[in-house]
Amino acid sequence: MRKIPVFTAALALVIAGTAACGSSSSPSSGKGGQAGSAAAFDPKTCQGGTLEVLNQASISKLDPARIYTSGGGNIPSLLFRTLTTRNRLPGQEGAKPAPDLATDLGTPSDGAKTWTYHLKDNLFFEDGTPITSDDVKYGIERSFAPELSGGAPYLRDWLVDASGYQGPYKQPEGIKAIETPDPKTIIFHLSKPEGDFPLLATATQFAPVPKAKDTGVDYEKHPVSSGPYMVATFEKKKTLDLVRNPHWSAATDPLRYACPDKINITAGLESAVINQRIATGSGQDANAVTTDTTVGPDQLAQLGSNPDLAKRVSKGEFPATTYLAFNPKVKPFDDIRVREAISYAVNRSTAVNAAGGTAVAGASTTFLPPQKALGYQPYDYFPAGATGNPAKAKELLAQAGYPNGLSITLDHEADDADNLGPKLATAIQDALKAAGITVTLKPSDDSGYRDVTGKPSTEPGLSLQYWGADWPSGGPFLIPIFDGRQIIDSGGNFNLAQLNDPAVNAEIDAINQITDPAQAQARWGALDAKLGQQALTVPLFYEKDVYLFGKNIKNAVPDGWRGQYDLARISVK
Amino acid sequence: MTQTVLTEEAAADPGPSSPPLPRAALWRRLRHDKAAATGLVIIAVMVLVAVFAPVLTALEGQDPTTQHSELVDSAVGTPLGAHGGISGSHWLGVEPQTGRDLFARLVYGARISLGIAFGATAIQVLIGVSIGIAAGLGGRLVDSALGRLTDLSLAFPYVLFAIGLMAIVPDSIPRPLVLAVVIALVAWGGTARLARGQTLSLKTRDYVAAAKLSGAPPLRVARREILPGLVTPVLTYAALLVPSNMIAEAGLSFLGVGIRPPTPSWGQMLSQGTTWFRPDVLYVLVPGGALFVTLLAFTLLADGVRRILDPKNTEVAP
Amino acid sequence: MTAAGADAGEHAVIAGAAGAAGAPLPEQSAGRGPAGSGPVLDVRGLSIDFPVRGGQVVHAVKDLSFSVPAGAALGIVGQSGSGKSATALALLGLHRNTSARVSGQVWLNGVDLVAASDAEVRGLRASQIAMVFQDPLTALDPFHTIGDQIAEVYRVHTKASRAQARARAIEVLDHVRIPEAARRARSHPHEFSGGMRQRALIAMALACRPKVLVADEPTTALDVTVQAQILDLLDEVRAETGMALVLISHDLGVVAGTADEVLVMNEGEAVERGPAERVLLEPQDPYTQGLLAAMPRLDAPLPGRAGQAGAEPEVLVRVEDLAKHFRRGGSLLGRAEPFRAVDGVSLELRAGETLGLVGESGSGKTTLARMLVRLLTPTSGTVVFAGNPISTLSERELRPLRRDLQMVFQDPLSSLNPRRSVGETIADPLRIAGTSSDAEIRATVRELMAKVGLDPETYDRFPHEFSGGMRQRVGIARALAPRPKLLICDEPVASLDVSTQAVILELLKEVQREYGLTVVFVAHDLAVVRQVADRVAVMRFGQIVELADAATLFDAPQHEYTRTLLDAVPVVDPVAAREKREKRRLALAAG
Amino acid sequence: MIGYVVRRLVGAVIVLLVLSAVVYGLFYAGPSNPALLACGKGCTPDHLAEVKSAMGLDKSLGDQYLSFLHGIFFGHDYSSGPSVRSCPAPCLGYSFETDQSVTSILTSALPVSASLALGALVLSLLLGVGSGLVTVLSGRRWLDRGLNAVVLLGYSTPVFLVALVLLIVFCSDLKWLPFPNYVPLTQNPGQWAQNLLLPWIALALIGSASYARMTRAQMLETLSEDHVRTARAYGLSERRVITGHVLRGALTPLVTMAAIDLAAIMTSAVLTESMFGLPGIGHALVDAVHGGDLPVIVGVTVAAGSLYILANALADILYAAIDPRVELA
C-alpha cells in the first residue's frame, strides 16, 4: 500500500528504490508481537527453512553506496553490517542505536565534532578476508561518487571539507576527514557538533566494501557481504535470493538471529496480491512476509472477525507525518489568517479515512509524530475537532478579506501509493468546500511532483507532503523542514515554508551539540510546539504500520525504530 | 486487451454489395430484433441517466463528491450498515473510506464513460473516414502514404501508447477530452482501413464513373456518391467501436492514467473496488455491473445491426 | 436421335401437360435394367420448392419429367429463374441437407436419387453421374493440386492405390487435351486459365467413367472461342466414352450443335421438348418462338441503315496511336513489365455512325472505350473530340465538354447509386450544369423517363425496386439527359436476358436516330454488334486487328482472328452448328 | 518467396523507422524534461548534469534520434567518469533510474509476456475454434444462439473484471490454485503452467470469443463455396469434404488474426499482467510511466511496435505460404 520513502535534508529526494530500505523507526507503541511467541522465542534453536519475502517495490539498487535506508534497512541489513545498527527491540529501547561492527556507539570528542570507533575482532567478508577500518572508509568514499549517488546526503554536509569530494575513482587520495590510524580504528572529523552521529552510522554507507572487489556500477550485481547472508542470485526488479554467509559469526553479531537458511525476495507484486497471499498462506506462502506492503482494506476488515488473521499482524509506528505544506511566498498563503482558516477547516476524519482509517493512521495536530524518541509534545493551536470547524474558518477568511470564500489550488501526487494522492486530496477538497474554499486539484507524477515542489521558484502555494525520520530523533525530523540554511534553490528543497528565522536556526545548532538524547528530546519538542504557532503546515495524521505475516512465521516483532518486523530476527521454523 | 483485435474482423469484411436498406426498414427490423431492441433500450436508459444525472442525484438528495466520514467504519473504512450502507438517503450505499454516495457517483460516472466512448468514437470516425476516403480517392502516392500512416497507427501498441501519451499530456487540458482524443488517436486505423476499402470498392462502381461523366467535381463525387455508401458499414463498425472505447477508458482509468478524481468514472471506481471485493462487494458490483450491462447493450445492438444488414444473414447453419 | 428418345420426349411432354407423375411406363422399367438401349436417367414428376423468408415458398421446378437414353445428349434451355440449375442439382441429389424440398423421382441406374439413402447417393455420384459447373474459377478447391483433386475422387469410388489414382488423373487430363498432363497435374487451379480449368473439371468428371455427365452452363464464364473449344470437347468425349450428356444453358446456340434433344424451360415448367432440329427450327410453343426471335443471329439479314451512306460525314472523334499501360505488381526491388491494355490504336469516328467494338475479355475494348470519354487517361496518344484534345486536357478544362461525352454501362445495378432515387440519378448532370431551375429539371427528367419507357411516376423510386431492363433504361436516360454528342455503350445488354436484350437494343437505335448520336457499341457478342453497328472494329491484345463496314466484316472477314471469332459463334441451326464444328476440327487438325 | 519475404521485411523496417522517430520525437520533444525524468527519483543536480551529458541531451533532437538509432545497431556507452554504463547492441536506451539498459529490461520481460501470450493464444484457439466448429457442424440452432450469446458476453467483459473474479474464486476462496507468481519455464515447467493458468484463462475467455465468431463465419462462407459443392457432387463423404476441403480454407484467415493477437497480448496485456503480477512488457511500461522513466517508455514502445509490425509481416508471409493463390513472386 505504501511505498517507503525516507528523506534527506540536503539534496536528495525520495527514494523508494531498493527492495528493502525500509523506513527507520522510533519508539513504537509496541503493540506488535502479541503472538506470544516472543517470550518463548529462542534464537539458539530457530535455524532452518526458507523465508519468502513478497514485495511491491522493485529491487533496483543493491549497492550499499546507493541505498537510502533508515537504520540500515530491513533487507540490506541482512547483507551489510555497519558501524552501528538499530537496536532491533520493540518499544522505546528499539529506537536507540547499538554497536554492530564497532565495539561501542563511538567516542565523541571536541564537543561532538570528532567521533572515534574501534572494530570488533574476527570480522570477515563472505570470501573470508578480514574487515578493516580501511574497508569502512572506502565504502563511505564510494558513496560520494556521482555515478553511485542515491544515499543520504548527511556525510557530505557533516564531514570536514567533503562537499566537493567526487569519490575514489576520480580522487583516489580519499577523504581527509576520515582517519584510519590502524586496521581497527576509524576516526571521523565533523565540521560542526553532531550528537546524532551514532544514529547516522547505521546507514549502509557505513558498510565495509573491499576495494579489490569494487567494480563500480557493477558492484551491486554481487555486493560483498559482511552480514549473515550473501547474494545467491540477483535479478534486478524481480528476485533476490540470499543464502547463508559462511564467514559470518553470530558471536560478533548478537542482534541478528539469522534464523532461515535461505531468504527469497520477490519484487514487483501488486499490494492486494501480496496481502491475499500472506493471508491465505497456502504452500510456501505460509513462510511469507513483506517489508513494504502494509495490510489492505480486505484484510483489515477481516481482523475483527478472523482471529487467525488477527494473530498474524504486526502493528508498529514508523515516525512520519502527512501534512499540508504552505508556501507563504504565494498569495493568499502569505496571510497567516488564511493559513489558520485552512488549519481550522480541515476534516481529519476524512483525511484519516483516505489513508485507510484509524487502523493505519492517527489524526495529528503536531508536526512531530507522537513518539518520545523524537521529543513529541502535544499541542493544538487551531482546534478543528474531528471533522473541521468551517464556521471559525469562514470568520478568519472574512477577516483576511475573503468574505465570499476563496479559490485555491492543491498540488498532490497522481497516485495514492504514498498516501499523497487523489484520495487525500479529494478529502481535503471536500472539507474546505464547507468553509467556502474552492479547491482545484493539480496532480503530478511522483518524480515530477518532487521536482515541482522541491524548487522554491516553482513551489506551489499548497501541497500535500509527507515527512519521515531518517532515524528516530527530532533533528532529522525538523531540520530539513524548518532550518533556513537548508533552503535549496536548485531543487530538492524540503523547507517548503522557506522559513529562515535566525532564532530557529540558532536553537537547532544548540540542540545538535547535545549528546544526551533525553535532553535533546525535550528541546526538539519545545521547538516543534513553537513552530506550530506560525501555521506553516497543517499536520493531518501520523503513520501506523500494520503488516501481515505468514502462518509459520515466528518472532515477527515490530522494532521501535521502524515499526516493522525485522527479517534478521524472524524464524520460519 | 484482446478486445482491440475484434474490431479488425469487422474491418476485414466491408460487405459492400448489399442492397441499401431504407432507414425506416432498418429501424423497423431493429425493433423486431429482440436482442438489438434490448440493447437499444438499455443504451437509451443509460444515456438518459447520464444526461439527467444532476436531476437524479437531486432526487436522492446527494452529490458525488461530499465525503461522509460518519457513514464508514472509522478504523478500516468499510461502509456502516448492511449491503454497503444502502439506505433511503443512499440508494446504492456509500463508497468505502470516503463515504461518498455510490448512486451519485454511478450516474455521474455514466456521463464520463458514455461521453468519452461516444466522443472517442466520433473522433475516430471523423479521422478514419477522412483518411480512408482521401486514400481511396487520392492518387497512388496519396494512397500509399496514407496507407503507411494507417499501418503505423495499427502498429502502435494500443494500450502502451495510450498510457505513454496520457503521461505527457499537460494537465491544463480537460481530462475527458484528452482521454477521448488519445483513445481515438491510437485507434482510428481500423475505421480508416474500412473506409479506404469501401471507397476503393465504391470507386470502381460505374455510377461513380457516371457522376464523373456528368461533370461532377471530385468533392461532389466524394460527398454524393462515396460518402452515402460508407454510412452503413461505418456505422455498423462504430457500434462496435463504442464498447471497445468504453473498455479502453475503463482500462486507462483502472491503471490510474485516465480520468482524474474526484470526477467519477466506472473504470476508476472498479479499480478502487478491487481491494474492497470482500469487505464491500457492492462497491465492485455496482460499477462493474453498470459497465458490463452497457457494454453488453452496445454489443447486442452492433450485432443486431450487423445481422440485419448482412445480406447472407447466416443465422442458422445450412 | 433414337426412336426411343423421341417417344420418351413425347411422353414427357404429355406427362407434363397432364400434370401427373403417373405410373412408370414399360420403357422406364426397361431403363432400370442393365445398361443398354433404355434411358440411363429418368426424371419423373420432379418438383423443387425453396422456402424463403416470411414463410413463403418458391416453386422453382414444377412437375418436370424427362429421360435421357444412354449415350444421348439432352439440352435444357431456359432464361434465368427458369429452374434449370435447380433441376441439374437434383440430378445428383445435391439438394439433400438444404432447405430445398424435392419431390418426384430421379431414376439412375436403378436407384431413385430422391428416395435413396445418403450413402447410396454418394456412391452413385461421380461413378454413375458427374457434373461440370458453371464457374470453373470457384468450382475447384484452391488449396489442392488439380491432380490430387481428381485422384481423390477416383480413389473414393474405386479403392485404387495412390499411384493408380494419380495415373488415372494424368490419363483423364490428357484425355481432355491438357498439354503435359503429368506436369500440369501438379498445378493448383489458380495457375490454370479459365478454359483449362473447365477442361480439368471435365477430366474430373470423366475420372470414374460415369454414364451421365451433367454440364450446367459450362461455358457461360468463357470467351466465345474457348466456349467453342469446350463444347467441342464435350461432344468429343461423349462420342468416345458413350456417356449421356445433359447440357444446360441459357443460350439456344450453345445446345444447338451438341444436343440431340432440347427441352425448353420457363418458370419451372417444360414448355417444349423434342429433337433439336425440330425445336430450334420449327418451335411449336410461343415461348420458344419468342426466344428464338429475340436472339441476335449472325445469319439474319443485316438491318438496313438508310441515310448513312450519303456524303462523307464529318469526323467527330480522331484517335491517334492511343495506348494505355497498367503497372502491375510494382515493388521496391524491381518493376514488372507493364500490362499493355491498349497498345497503339488509331481510328476515326464519324458523326452519327455506330462503331461496333468487339473482342474477347482482356482485348482492351473497354479500356479503349473509357479513354474515348476520358474516364481513363491514356498513357500515350491522343483523342481529339470535335477539335478538343480531350486526352490531355485537365479535369477542370474538360468539365464543360463532359456533357457531350456520355456512357451506358454494362451492369445496370452497379451503374446506379443504390442510395439515390432514379429521378435524381437522371437529373444529376442537369443539376451539376446548374443552368436550370428545379422545376425545369424535374420536367426534363420526366420527359426523358417517358421517352425511354419508364413511368415518370417512379421518379422517387430506388434502383433496387426495378428489374434489370428497367434499370438499363434509367442508365440510358441519364446518359441522354445532357444531350450528348457521343455515346459509349459498354456491353449494354450483356447482363440481360435475351428477350430484354432485344428491347434495349431497339431503344438504343431509336434514341440514336432521334438525338443524332454518334455511338460506340462495345460488346463481346458478335451477333449483337452485327445488329447495331455500321462499322466494326475487332480488337485483340490491345490492338485493332480489323476495322471494316459491318457487311464486309461479317461476310468477308480479312483477318484470321476475325474468322476464328466468327466461326466460334454458336448458331441455332443444329445442322449449321455441326458443320461449323467440323470446320473447327479440321482447322485444329491442320494447325 | 525469398524476394517476397525480403520485400515485406524491408517494408516493415521502413514503418519501424517512422514509428521510432514518431515515438522518440513525441516523448523527447514533449513538455517533460527528459534528463530529469531519465535521472529518475532521488536525482541530485550532480547526477542530473552527469545524466544530461551522458544522454547527449545537449545535442539537437535529430542528433539524439540518430544516436538512438546508432545505439540499436552498434550499442552505446554512457560515460561521464571512470565507470562506464555500457549498453551493448541492440541498445534501445538506458534507464538511469534503475541503472539498466532498456534491452535488459525487455529481455527479462519478454519471456514472461511470450509465455502469457502463447498460452493464452493456444487456449483461445482451442476454445474458440472448437466451439465455432462444433456449432457449425452440428447445425443446431440452439447451439448457434448459445455460441452467439457467449461471444457477446466475451466482447462485453473487461479483462480486469474476469481476472479479479478468477483470483477471488480460485485462489482466495476455493484455494485450488496458488496466487500467480511467475516461474520461468526453464526453471520448472509444471509451476510455470500452474502459475500462468489463471491469466491464460482470463485472456482466453475473452479472446476465444473472436475466434469462435470468426471460425463460424469462415466455416459458413467456405461451406457455401462452389468447390465444396463440387466435392459433394463427386461423392465425397461429408467428413472428407470437411477435413479435406473446408477446414483449411476456413481456418487460414485465422492465422493472420492469431499472429496479430500474439503480438497484441505480448505488448498490450497491461491489465492482465498487472492483475496477476506478471513482470511482462506491459508491466515494465506501466512501471516506467509511473516512475517517469522516459528511456524505458520510448524503448518499450518502439520494441512493442516492432513486435507488432513483425507479427503483421509474419502473418502475411505465413498466409502466403499456406494459401497457394497468394503470389510470392
Q: Are C130 and C206 in contact (CB under 8 A)?
A: yes
The pLDDT, as a whole number, for residue A324 is 96
Radius of gyration of chain D (CA): 24
Continuous H helices in D40-179: 45-55, 61-74, 102-138, 141-156, 159-166
Instruction: Establish if B183 belongs to a structural domain.
Output: yes
Residues in chain B with CB shorter than 8 Å from the CB of D269 are 1-2
- Amino acid letter for position D89: A
- Contact: chain A with chain B (3+ CB pairs below 8 Å): yes
- Residue D115, pLDDT > 50, answer yes
Residues in chain D with CB shorter than 8 Å from the CB of C333 are 3, 6-7
B interface mutation test: which of C97, C374, C413, C428 has the most B CBs within 10 A?
C428
Quick one: C290 and C319 in the same domain?
no
C interface mutation test: which of D222, D224, D230, D322 has the most C CBs within 10 A?
D230
Close Cβ partners of B29 (under 8 Å, ≥ 6 residues apart) = B21, B308
Can you tell me the distance from the alpha carbon of A162 to that of C375, in angstroms, rounded to the nearest whole number?
84
Quick one: C120 and C71 in the same domain?
yes
Q: Under the phi-then-psi rule, with left for phi > 0, alpha for psi from -120 to 50, and beta for the rest, what region is A49?
A: left
Instruction: Establish if C28 belongs to a structural domain.
Output: yes
The pLDDT, as a whole number, for residue C400 is 85
Local structure of B47: helix, strand or coil = helix
Residues in chain D with CB shorter than 8 Å from the CB of A448 are 32, 37, 292
The pLDDT, as a whole number, for residue C3 is 38
Residues 48-107 in C contacting B (C-alpha not used; CB under 8 Å)? 97-99
The pLDDT, as a whole number, for residue A338 is 95
Quick one: C278 and C344 in the same domain?
no
Residues in chain A with CB shorter than 8 Å from the CB of D180 are 273
Quick one: C320 and C271 in the same domain?
no
Can you tell me the distance from the alpha carbon of D283 to that of D106, in angstroms, rounded to the nearest whole number?
11
SS (H, E, C) C263-327: EEEECCEEEEEEEHHHHHHCCCCHHHHHHHHHCCCCCCCCCCCCCCCCCCCCEEEEEEEEEEEEC
Residue C419 per-residue DSSP state: T
- Amino acid letter for position B24: A
Among A109-123, A431-445, C329-343, C363-377, the range scoring the smallest mean pLDDT is: C329-343
Count how many domains chain C has: 2
- Residue A119, pLDDT > 50, answer yes
Residue B24 per-residue DSSP state: H
- Residue C25, pLDDT > 70, answer no
Banded model confidence at residue C7, pLDDT cuts 50, 70, 90: very low
- Residue C430, pLDDT > 80, answer yes
Q: Taking Cα atoms as reference points, which of D113, D98, D291, D272 lies closest to residue D199? A: D272
Among A149-153, A282-286, B177-181, the range scoring the smallest mean pLDDT is: A149-153
Domain extents in chain D: 2-102, 103-322
C interface mutation test: which of B21, B33, B144, B214 has the most C CBs within 10 A?
B214
Q: Are C82 and C270 in contact (CB under 8 A)?
A: no
Quick one: C257 and C378 in the same domain?
no
Banded model confidence at residue D213, pLDDT cuts 50, 70, 90: confident
| CB-CB under 8 Å, B206 with C415 | yes
HSE of D108, CA atoms in CB hemisphere, 13 A: 18
The pLDDT, as a whole number, for residue A128 is 94
Quick one: C157 and C201 in the same domain?
yes
Instruction: Establish if C403 belongs to a structural domain.
Output: yes
Local structure of B300: helix, strand or coil = helix
How close B295 gets to chain D, by Cα (Å)?
5
Can you tell me the distance from the alpha carbon of A431 to that of A390, in angstroms, rounded to the nearest whole number?
8
Average pLDDT, chain A: 87
- Residue C547, pLDDT > 60, answer yes
Can you tell me the distance from the alpha carbon of A316 to that of A23, in angstroms, rounded to the nearest whole number?
12
What count of CB pairs under 8 Å joins B to D?
A: 179
Low-confidence ranges of chain B (pLDDT < 50): 1-19, 312-318
- Contact: chain D with chain B (3+ CB pairs below 8 Å): yes
Can you tell me the distance from the alpha carbon of B288 to that of B269, in angstroms, rounded to the nearest whole number?
9
CB atoms within 10 A of CB D36: 20
Banded model confidence at residue C19, pLDDT cuts 50, 70, 90: very low
Rounded alpha-carbon distances, angstroms, from residue B194 to B201, C399, D214: 11, 31, 17
Tell me how far apart the terminal alpha carbons of chain C are, to the nearest angstrom: 32
Local structure of A38: helix, strand or coil = helix
Quick one: C410 and C541 in the same domain?
yes
Residue B123 per-residue DSSP state: H
Q: What's the sign of the alpha-carbon dihedral A276, A278, A284, A289?
A: positive
The pLDDT, as a whole number, for residue B156 is 66
Can you tell me the distance from the alpha carbon of A130 to that of D322, in angstroms, rounded to the nearest whole number?
68
The pLDDT, as a whole number, for residue D44 is 59
How close B211 gets to chain D, by Cα (Å)?
34
What count of CB pairs under 8 Å joins C to D?
A: 81
Residues in chain A with CB shorter than 8 Å from the CB of B262 are 422, 426, 429-430, 441
Can you tell me the distance from the alpha carbon of A134 to that of A187, in angstroms, rounded to the nearest whole number?
11
Q: Residue A450: phi, psi to the nearest 5?
A: -60, -35
- Contact: chain D with chain C (3+ CB pairs below 8 Å): yes
The pLDDT, as a whole number, for residue D327 is 60
- Tens of pLDDT along A253-270? 999 999 999 999 988 787
| CB-CB under 8 Å, C373 with B205 | no
- Amino acid letter for position B219: L
In this complex, the residue of D138, D206, D285 whose CB is nearest that of residue B163 is D285
> What chains are in contact with B, requiring at least 3 Cβ pairs below 8 Å?
A, C, D
Query: Taking residues A472-496, what's their average pLDDT?
Result: 87
Q: Which domain holds residue B91?
A: 23-308
The pLDDT, as a whole number, for residue D1 is 61
How close D53 gets to chain B, by Cα (Å)?
23
Instruction: Establish if B85 belongs to a structural domain.
Output: yes
Residues in chain A with CB shorter than 8 Å from the CB of B74 are 349, 352-353, 357-358
- Amino acid letter for position C57: V
C interface mutation test: which of B140, B206, B225, B235 has the most C CBs within 10 A?
B206
| CB-CB under 8 Å, C156 with D233 | no
Quick one: C289 and C367 in the same domain?
no
| CB-CB under 8 Å, A300 with B67 | no
Higher per-residue pLDDT: B237 or A341: A341
| CB-CB under 8 Å, A238 with D45 | no
Residues in chain B with CB shorter than 8 Å from the CB of C416 are 207
Strand A107-109 versus strand A114-118 pairing type: antiparallel
The pLDDT, as a whole number, for residue D47 is 62
In this complex, the residue of D159, D213, D267 whose CB is nearest that of residue B157 is D267
Q: Which residues does residue C380 pair with via DSSP β-bridges, in sequence order?
A: C323
Higher per-residue pLDDT: C301 or C32: C301
Banded model confidence at residue D299, pLDDT cuts 50, 70, 90: confident
- Amino acid letter for position A206: F
Quick one: C196 and C160 in the same domain?
yes
Residues in chain D with CB shorter than 8 Å from the CB of C188 are 324-325
Strand A288-289 versus strand C244-249 pairing type: unpaired
> CATH number for the domain including C464?
3.40.50.300
User: Is residue B277 exposed (0-12), middle (13-18) or buried (19+ Cβ within 10 Å)?
Assistant: buried
Residues in chain B with CB shorter than 8 Å from the CB of D172 are 278
Q: Under the phi-then-psi rule, with left for phi > 0, alpha for psi from -120 to 50, and beta for the rest, what region is A281?
A: left
Residue D91 per-residue DSSP state: P
User: Is residue B289 exposed (0-12), middle (13-18) or buried (19+ Cβ within 10 Å)?
Assistant: middle
- Tens of pLDDT along A297-329? 778 888 878 888 889 999 999 999 999 999 999
Count how many domains chain B has: 1
In chain A, % of residues over pLDDT 70: 92
> What chains are in contact with C, requiring at least 3 Cβ pairs below 8 Å?
B, D
Q: Is D59 on the interface with C (CB under 8 A)?
A: no
Local structure of C402: helix, strand or coil = helix
Q: Is C143 on the interface with D (CB under 8 A)?
A: yes
> CATH number for the domain including B182?
1.10.3720.10
Quick one: C277 and C373 in the same domain?
no
Instruction: Establish if C590 belongs to a structural domain.
Output: no
Among A51-55, A561-565, B117-121, C311-315, the range scoring the smallest mean pLDDT is: C311-315
Rounded alpha-carbon distances, angstroms, from residue C411 to B197, C414, C472, C494, C495: 21, 5, 8, 8, 7
- Residue C579, pLDDT > 60, answer yes
Residues in chain C with CB shorter than 8 Å from the CB of B207 are 414-417, 425
Q: Cell 539534496 belongs to which residue?
A: A11
Among A61-75, C148-162, D74-88, the range scoring the smallest mean pLDDT is: D74-88
Q: Which domain holds residue C218?
A: 2-294
Local structure of A512: helix, strand or coil = helix
Q: Is C160 on the interface with B (CB under 8 A)?
A: no
The pLDDT, as a whole number, for residue C294 is 85
Can you tell me the distance from the alpha carbon of A223 to that of A65, in angstroms, rounded to the nearest whole number?
10
Q: Is C367 on the interface with B (CB under 8 A)?
A: no
List % helix, strand, coil for chain C (3-state, nearest 5). 40, 25, 35
The secondary structure element, H or E, covering residue B287 is helix B282-309
| CB-CB under 8 Å, C153 with D234 | yes
Banded model confidence at residue A28, pLDDT cuts 50, 70, 90: very low
Residues in chain D with CB shorter than 8 Å from the CB of B166 are 289
How close D323 gets to chain C, by Cα (Å)?
7
Q: Are C254 and C219 in contact (CB under 8 A)?
A: yes
D interface mutation test: which of A447, A449, A458, A489 has the most D CBs within 10 A?
A447
| C-alpha cell read off for C143 | 488449396
- Tens of pLDDT along C37-59? 578 999 999 999 988 766 788 89
In chain D, % of residues over pLDDT 90: 6
The pLDDT, as a whole number, for residue C335 is 54
The pLDDT, as a whole number, for residue B239 is 81
| CB-CB under 8 Å, A443 with B67 | no
Residues in chain D with CB shorter than 8 Å from the CB of A280 are 171-172, 175, 179
Can you tell me the distance from the alpha carbon of C241 to that of C259, in angstroms, rounded to the nearest whole number?
16
The pLDDT, as a whole number, for residue A496 is 92
CATH of domain D103-322: 1.10.3720.10
CA angle (D322 as vertex; D318, D324 as ends), nearest 5 = 125
Quick one: C350 and C287 in the same domain?
no
The secondary structure element, H or E, covering residue C388 is strand C388-389
Can you tell me the distance from the alpha carbon of A358 to that of B77, in angstroms, rounded to the nearest whole number?
8
Among A349-353, C27-31, C490-494, D22-26, the range scoring the smallest mean pLDDT is: C27-31
The pLDDT, as a whole number, for residue A447 is 63
